[in-house]
Amino acid sequence: MIGLLASLVDGLLVGSVYGLAAMGISLIWGVMDVINLTHGAMIVAGMFSLYLMVEFLGVPAYVTLPPILIGGLIVGIALYWIAVHRMIGQPPLMSLLSTFAVNLVLIGLGTAQWGTVLFNVPVSLPGSSIGRYTFPGTHIAAALLTAAIAFLLYLFLFHTRPGKAVRAVSGNREAAELVGIPTTRVLALAFGLGVALACVSGMLIGTMFPFTVLSGDAYQLKSFVVTVLGGLGNPAGALIGGIAIGLFEGLTTPFMPVNWTLVFEFVLFVVALIAFPGGLLSLRLPRRAE
C-alpha cells in the first residue's frame, strides 16, 4: 500500500512536468486556434540543449533552464513567422500541416545528426527518502521548477500588459485589434511562450529520463492527451491534466507492463476527445456567462 502511495507521489511529480509541456500546447491552441505539431521537436530541442550545454560547456544542469527558456521563446517566435503567420484565419487543417511539416524537417535533421542513439544526462541530486522509498531528487526538483514556472506564467498573463494582451487576443481577436492591441505581435509572443514551455519541459524531462531524437513524439502525444483532458486553451487545466496522467501512470505501472499503459492512455485520449470536448474541468465548473 505504501508502495502504491510512493508510486502515486512520484507520478504526481513527473506528471506536473507533463502538465508543463501540455501548457505549451494549450496556450497556443487557446490563443490562436493552432495546434502546434512542432511541439515534440521542441521538447527534443530542450533535451538536446540540456545535453549539449552540460557535456560541452560544462554548465550545471539546472543552470541551463533560463537560456533554454529564452532560446525557446526566440525560436518559437521565428517558427511563428515561418510556418504559422500565413495560416492564421485559414482552416485549422493548414496550420496543422505546416507545423507538422516543420516538425518533419527538424526531426529529420535531428536523426541525420544523432541517429536514434539513447542519450542520458546524469544529474546527481540527493533524493528524499521515506522508509524504503526514495523519491529521486531530480523528480522533486523538476516538480518544484514546474510550479515556479507555472506561477511565473500566471503572473505574466494576469499582471503584466503583454500578458493581458495575450489573454485579450485569445478571448476575441477582432475586439483586441479594435482596442489597438498589435495582435500579430501578440500571437508571435504567445507562440514563442508555448514553444519555450515545450523546451523547458524537455530540459526537465532530460534531467529525469534518458532520451533519443524520437522521444519527442511520445511526449507530444502525452501533451495532447493532457491538453484534451484539461480543456483546450486552459493552461491551468493542462497542469492539472498532467498531474492526472502522472497519477494514472503511477497507479497502473506497478500492476501492468509499461506497454499496456500506453494503450490505455491513447484510448483515454480518444475517449476524452469524444466525451469531454471541454476537458474534464468543464464538467465541474458552473457555467459562466460568456
Partner 1 sequence: MTALLAIENLGKRFGGLAAVQDLSFEVAEHEILGLIGPNGAGKSTLFNLINGVFKPDSGRVVFRGADITGMAPYLVARAGLARTHQIVQPLGAMSVRENCTVGACFGRENLPLAAARQIAEEVAVFVGLGDRLDVPASQLTVAGKKRLELARALSAQPTLLLLDEVLAGLNPTEVERMIAVIRRIRERGVTILMIEHLMQAIMSLSDRIVVLNTGQKLAEGSPSEVANDPAVIEAYLGDPELAAEFRGALA
Partner 2 sequence: MKAVEAKKPGLAAGGVLRRPFFWIMAAIVAAFAVAPSIGNDVELREDLLLAAVYITLASNINLILGYAGYVNFGSIVFFGLGGYFTVYFMSALGWNLVAASLIGGLAVSALAYAFGLGILRLRGAYFALATIGVNEAVQAFVTNFTPWGAGTGIYLSTELFLPLGGPAQALWVIYYALVGVMGLSLYLSYFIKISKFGLGLRAIGENEDAAAVLGVPTPRYKTMVYCVSAFLPAVAGGLYFFKGAFIQPIDAFDLNFSTEAIVTAMLGGQGTVLGPALGAYVYEQLRSWLLTSDTFANFQLVISGALLLVIVLFAPGGLMGWLYRRWPGLRKVLE
Binding residues vs partner 2 (CB under 8 A): 35, 83, 86-87, 91-94, 96-98, 100-109, 111-112, 217, 221, 224-225, 228, 257, 259-260, 262-263, 266-267, 269-271, 273-274, 277
Stretch of residues binding partner 1 (CB under 8 A), selected from 78-86, 89-97, 198-206, 282-290: 282-290
* Binding of residue 91 to partner 1 (CB under 8 A): no
* Binding of residue 289 to partner 1 (CB under 8 A): yes
Task: Specify which residues 133 forms β-bridges with.
Answer: 130
* Binding of residue 287 to partner 1 (CB under 8 A): yes
Shortest CB 93 distance to partner 1, Å: 14
Given partner 1, partner 2, none, residue 151, with its beta carbon under 5 to 8 Å by kind, binds none
Given partner 2, partner 1, none, residue 289, with its beta carbon under 5 to 8 Å by kind, binds partner 1
Shortest CB 161 distance to partner 2, Å: 30
> Interface residues with partner 1 (CB under 8 A)?
287, 289-290
